[in-house]
């Protein structure tokens, strides 16, 4: 049994219904059990070593993590904990730069809500193989990126490839980020749901 701590918050951004769809999607995975809190500060009050992974879907835009909270998060990942971060997780805790060194990217801007064609970066992807290209109407996040990311899905922004799903390792831990999630409808898209489920399974194998 894999034990996962959901760190979820938001009414409009991220949307409440989007969070409900995320929980419903992940609950379809066999042999997974879930607890829930609303922030990494609240998560740090728990024994994180009891969990296999954290799922981050929130927008704590102006918050900062204390040194103790950041240490708890970092040590959890380095020791082998997994992190599945969704959409606005990379636009949170802006006053704690070291947080972005863990999740792999820092939000620097976004485009309008519009149709986004998302395509796999490699047909033989060992994590997401078989998930075809798809289109959703969502908000494209642009990021400053860590140099060691593995890009699994991308789109095109102003003639350049922009990552939509990435993975990386931090110590013995695994991190996966999925950009879709500004609209609750995106969380109902079957391809997005499959990405989230496979992403969580992968980070739990760290």
What is the per-residue pLDDT for 42? Answer: 97
User: What is the C-alpha to C-alpha distance for residues 75 and 171, in angstroms, rounded to an integer?
Assistant: 9
**pLDDT of 23 higher than 90:** yes
What is the per-residue pLDDT for 31? Answer: 97
What is the per-residue pLDDT for 122? Answer: 87
User: What is the C-alpha to C-alpha distance for residues 170 and 184, in angstroms, rounded to an integer?
Assistant: 30
Neighbours of 98 (CB within 10 A): 13
pLDDT band of residue 146 (cuts 50, 70, 90) is: very high
Q: For a pLDDT cut of 90, what percent of the chain falls above it?
A: 97
**pLDDT of 188 higher than 90:** yes
| Domains identified in the chain, total number | 1
- Residue identified by tokens 């999925």 is 178
What is the per-residue pLDDT for 206? Answer: 82
**53-80 pLDDT per residue, tens:** 999 999 999 999 999 999 999 999 999 9
Residue 114: CA atoms inside 13 Å, Cβ hemisphere, count? 9
Give the burial class of 63: count Cβ atoms within 10 A of its Cβ; 0-12 exposed, 13-18 middle, 19 or more buried.
middle
Tell me the residue range of the domain where 30 lies: 2-203
**pLDDT of 140 higher than 90:** yes
Neighbours of 80 (CB within 10 A): 16
CATH of the domain at 197: 3.40.50.880
Residues in the chain: 206
What is the per-residue pLDDT for 65? Answer: 97
Range 123-153 burial, b when 16+ CB lie within 10 A, else e: eebebbeebeebebebbbbbbebbeebbbbb
What is the per-residue pLDDT for 198? Answer: 98
pTM of the model: 0.98
Question: Max Cα separation, the chain?
Answer: 45
**95-123 pLDDT per residue, tens:** 999 999 999 999 999 989 999 999 999 88
CA angle 94/96/101 to nearest 5° reads 100
């Amino acid at each position: 049994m894999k034990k996962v701590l959901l760190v979820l918050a938001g009414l409009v951004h991220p949307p409440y219904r989007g969070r409900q769809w995320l929980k419903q999607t992940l609950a379809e995975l066999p042999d997974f059990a879930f607890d829930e809190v609303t922030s990494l500060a609240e998560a740090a009050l728990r024994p994180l070593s009891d969990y296999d992974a954290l799922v981050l879907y929130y927008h704590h835009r102006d918050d900062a993590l204390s040194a103790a909270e950041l240490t708890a998060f970092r040590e959890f990942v380095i020791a082998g904990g997994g992190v599945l971060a969704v959409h606005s997780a990379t636009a949170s805790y802006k006053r704690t730069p070291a947080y972005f060194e863990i999740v792999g990217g820092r939000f620097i801007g976004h485009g309008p809500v519009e149709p986004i064609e998302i395509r796999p970066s490699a047909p033989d992807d060992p994590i997401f193989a078989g998930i075809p290209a798809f289109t959703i109407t969502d908000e494209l996040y642009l990021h400053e990126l860590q140099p060691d990311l593995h890009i699994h899905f991308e789109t095109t922004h102003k003639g350049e490839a922009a990552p939509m799903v990435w993975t990386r390792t931090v110590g013995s831990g695994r991190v996966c980020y999925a950009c879709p999630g500004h609209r609750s409808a995106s969380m109902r898209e079957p391809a997005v749901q499959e990405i989230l489920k496979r992403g969580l399974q992968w980070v739990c194998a760290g």
